[in-house]
Amino acid sequence: MTDFIVPFCEQKVVILYADEDVVVVDKPSGLLSVPGKHPLNKDCLITRVQEQYPDAYIVHRLDMDTSGVMVLARGKENLSALSRQFQERQTHKQYLAWVYGIMSDDEGEVDLPLRCDWPNRPKQMVDHELGKPSLTRFEVLERKLETLQSKVLLKPVTGRSHQLRVHMAALGHPISGCEFYAHKQALEQATRLQLHAWKLSFTHPSTGAPFLWTAPEVF
């Protein structure tokens, strides 16, 4: 894959919450979570947050085009504790998305194994032989007949790269504005990827208290 220069993201990272152990942020669409390989792609979420919290570490990532809530750890001990929660699926994520077409089912799940499509990185693909188990649950919140779109609540059980994009495309309802998996009509439905990390729940690494944070809806 040819490296490219990411356009500078003018939107700010909003700090939703911070204490001595964690920082919860609302990442804007168009901003990398971590620095890219190209020397001009150093601007990203973690470098911006570290300007205010030098001990912050990335625990999980959102795609550049995806907006929404993320938690960062302060210090290596908290990084280990939070990373363990993600690895053991003790965290819970909810995403909002507008997808192409009018979905017939009010709710359901997509259980399709995924792996990297190596010749076309960073794209992923369904592979029933070599793919890793991947599960997404969905609920339709709204249907717009005039624009041929459905608003869905997505609850990923696993956390594969591009999981929500590939799973919705596999259903025949690609996410609007998705440059990787949307067909022409779906791509032209929006100027940005219509995927937003809406809610994130986890356990505070020091106090053990349950935490639930919501990023304001953006579409």
pLDDT digit string, tens, across residues 29-60: 999 999 988 888 999 999 999 999 999 999 99
Domain co-membership, 63 together with 123: no
207 part of a folded domain: yes
Question: Which token pair is 161?
Answer: 């790269």
pLDDT for 4 equals 80
Q: Give the residue among 28, 78, 77, 80 at the shortest CA–CA distance from 49.
A: 28
Encode 37-48: b = buried (16+ Cβ within 10 Å), e = exposed. eeeebeebbbeb
- Domain region containing 155: 95-195
Domain co-membership, 81 together with 101: no
- CB atoms near residue 87 (< 10 Å): 10
**Residue 1: pLDDT band by 50, 70, 90 thresholds?**
very low
Mean pLDDT in residue range 136-154:
98
Distance between alpha carbon 93 and the CA centroid of its chain, in Å? 9
Domain co-membership, 100 together with 187: yes
For tokens 């990923």, the residue is: 156
7 part of a folded domain: no
Question: Which secondary-structure segment (H or E) carries 90?
Answer: none
Domain co-membership, 30 together with 77: yes
219 part of a folded domain: no
* 111 a catalytic residue: no
5 part of a folded domain: no
pTM score above 0.85 = yes
9 part of a folded domain: no
Question: Which secondary-structure segment (H or E) carries 218?
Answer: none
Domain co-membership, 63 together with 128: no
Instruction: Round to whole Å and give the CA distance between 176 and 191.
Output: 9
Domain co-membership, 132 together with 175: yes
* Catalytic residue chosen out of the listed positions 21, 26, 63, 111: 63
pLDDT digits (tens, 9 = 90+) for 7-36: 999 999 999 999 999 999 999 999 999 998
Instruction: Round to whole Å and give the CA distance between 182 and 189.
Output: 10
In the three-class reduction of DSSP (H, G, I as helix; E, B as strand; rest coil), residue 181 is classed as coil
Distance between alpha carbon 175 and the CA centroid of its chain, in Å? 13
> What's the number of CA atoms in the CB half-sphere (13 Å) around residue 63?
21
β-bridge pairing 67-74 and 195-203: parallel
- What total of structural domains would you count in the chain? 2
Domain co-membership, 102 together with 177: yes
Q: Which CATH number goes with the domain that contains 167? A: 3.30.2350.10
pLDDT for 2 equals 45
For 59, phi then psi, to 5°, come to -105, -40
4 part of a folded domain: no
3 part of a folded domain: no
138 part of a folded domain: yes
Instruction: Round to whole Å and give the CA distance between 138 and 66.
Output: 18
Instruction: Round to whole Å and give the CA distance between 2 and 69.
Output: 29
Domain co-membership, 65 together with 24: yes
Whether the Cβ atoms of residue 157 and residue 137 lie closer than 8 Å to each other:
yes
Q: Give the residue among 166, 106, 105, 107 at the shortest CA–CA distance from 134.
A: 166
Domain co-membership, 134 together with 62: no
Average pLDDT, whole number, for the chain?
96
